[in-house]
Amino acid sequence: MRRMTLPACGLMVALLASIAYSQSRGASAVVLYEGARLIIGDTSAPIESGAFVVSGGRITALGRSGAVRAPAGATRVDLAGKTVMPAMINVHVHIGYEGYTSWGAENYTPQNVLDHLQREAFYGIAVTQSVGSSPTDQAIQFQRDQDAGKFAPASRFLFMPGMAPPNGGPDAILLKGTSALHVVYEVSTGEEARAAVRTMAARQLKSVKIWVDDRRGTYPKMTPEVYNAIIDEAHAHQMMVHAHAIALPDQKAVVRAGADVLVHTTQNEKLDDEFLALLREKKPYWTTVIGLGDRSEVCDNDPFIDQTYPAKTLADIRAASCGPVSPNAANREAILANNLPQYVAAGARLVLGTDAGITPRHAFGWADHHEMSRWVKSGLTPSQAIVAATSRPAELLGLKDMGTLAVGKRADFIVLSANPLENIRNTREISAVYLGGAKLDRDARLAQWKRSGAAQ
Ligand SMILES: [Zn+2]
């Protein structure tokens, strides 16, 4: 064999690197996946024995097995007995502060943001949006770097800034992180609010978060003058407003004012006719973030959840949070079971959000599955829960090529070994996660977390 000259050798290395790169992006292989039940992610019926072709990281054909022809040279993957659903989209987290053995602004680095996005991806989430708690400059830089392919495969990062009165906004724990990094845009008047929104629009930001909550009389609450100005100015720049409100009068006020996304569910009040009429009229998107108020699932010894925690952290959570359920819990459950189907029936457009990262124990990835199971426990069907975790958040975020299994969409999907339409907890039976047509190496990720002490 002829010895390769150095330049030719260099060319070969570059070529191999480019092939490896395109394979890791799912761009070069043509693959036919056949035999699985396909859950489309919108309201259409599942295809019981389906097939689809992935090429260039996208779905290029999809239908019943036998009706989809494999292009010449395609690799075939037998998924008989499996269920495939679109990868999920989480529109509400607080990324970067969780450290799994610590929590705070000192943890906020690009590496830690990436770690949280890898945790979301590990659990089948293709897009993760941080809401109101990410430093704007760093977040924009991170997005640029991720879009340029600088990071390992992970959930795609989106973010929006937050606005609050001085010393208002995030709850006491998150506030420690956001204050240290000067993240929240503090505004006192309508004019200040409009000016701040204009600076965001100038940076091409698409959404903004507001807090309208006095935390039981302990915080300054954003005034109607300010939130009306924010919503008006944001809409003038085609930006959306996500409004945190917990009390029923505040939820009414922000929906009436035109907030696009309502964040949280009322905690202790049943919905009334006035609010239901407002929901019917305005049809806001709505993210429940119920899970945060729950007794931790870590208390249930579910390996699906425990696998991505350090052992000591699990022990600490169990020692602190797994005592008897509070006497209030039954009442809270009853109100949720009453309210959640009413929000949805009136027209609130439910979208997946978890609040992961807002406190040390409420962590990334598994919380998405927890939230969905909470919806079903409170009266939704599994199919409604899956739509709210896939196609509807894609619609909210304007991600036209994500959120369903359909021709032309990105090949972001989860392979499950059980059917979540029968039991929503089957979204936890993850056999594989694909992002852009590339199979995520979940075993390697988990091994890496174990090596670094970030998982048990
Ligand atoms: Zn939140």
pLDDT digits (tens, 9 = 90+) for 32-78: 999 999 999 999 999 999 999 999 999 999 999 999 998 999 999 99
Q: Residue 174 Cα, ligand 1 centroid: separation in angstroms? A: 9
Q: Which residue has the higher pLDDT, 293 or 299?
A: 299
User: Which sign does the torsion angle of CA 86, 92, 97, 99 carry?
Assistant: negative
Given this model, what pLDDT does residue 456 score?
A: 84
> How far apart are the CA of 95 and the centre of ligand 1, in A?
10
What pLDDT, in 10s, does the model give residues 179-205?
999 999 999 999 999 999 999 999 999
CA 355–ligand 1 middle distance (angstroms): 5
CATH number of 90-277+294-342+355-369+393-397: 3.20.20.140
Q: Which residues have CB less than 5 Å away from ligand 1 (the ion)?
A: 355
246 C-alpha to ligand 1 centroid (Å): 11
Q: Where are the domains of the chain?
A: 90-277+294-342+355-369+393-397
How far is C-alpha 107 from the geometric centre of its chain's CA atoms? 20
For residue range 122-156, list pLDDT tens digits in order.
Answer: 999 999 999 999 999 999 999 999 999 999 999 99
Residue 211: which of 358, 346, 311, 82 has the closest Cα?
358
Binning pLDDT at 50, 70 and 90, where does residue 28 land?
Answer: low
- 13-17, 187-191, 236-240 — which is least confidently predicted? 13-17
Q: Any idea of the CA torsion for 191, 197, 200, 202, to the nearest 10 degrees?
A: -70
Q: Is the pLDDT of residue 214 over 60?
A: yes
Q: How far apart are CA 309 and CA 4, in angstroms?
A: 49
Statement: residue 219 has pLDDT above 60: yes
Res 323: pLDDT = 82
Ligand 1 centroid – CA 83 distance (Å): 31
Ligand 1 center from residue 93 Cα (angstroms): 6
Instruction: Decide: 317 and 354 in contact? Cβ < 8 Å.
Output: no
The pLDDT, as a whole number, for residue 293 is 66
| Residue 327 pLDDT | 80
pLDDT tier for residue 378 given thresholds of 50, 70 and 90: very high
Write the CB contacts of 38 (distance below 8 Å, at least 6 apart in sequence): 46, 47, 50, 52, 62, 83, 84, 85, 405
CA of 288 to the centre of ligand 1 (A): 10
pLDDT score at 453: 85
C-alpha 79 – ligand 1 centre gap (Å): 37
Q: Is the pLDDT of residue 9 over 60?
A: no
Beta strand 83-86 with 413-416: parallel, antiparallel or unpaired?
Answer: antiparallel
- Per the structure block, which two tokens stand in for 311? 């052992």
- Tell me what pLDDT residue 383 has: 98
Q: Is the pLDDT of residue 437 over 60?
A: yes
Distance 127 CA to ligand 1 centre (A): 16
Paired tokens of 169: 């906004």
Centre of ligand 1 to C-alpha 209, Å, is 9
**pTM given for the model:** 0.93
The greatest distance separating any two alpha carbons of the chain, rounded to the nearest whole angstrom, comes to 83
**Residue 21: is its pLDDT beyond 50?**
no
Helix (H, G, I), strand (E, B) or coil at 151: coil
What one-character-per-residue DSSP string does 331-361 give? HHHHHHHHHHHHHHHHT-EE-----BTSSTT
Ligand 1 centroid–CA 210 distance in Å is 10
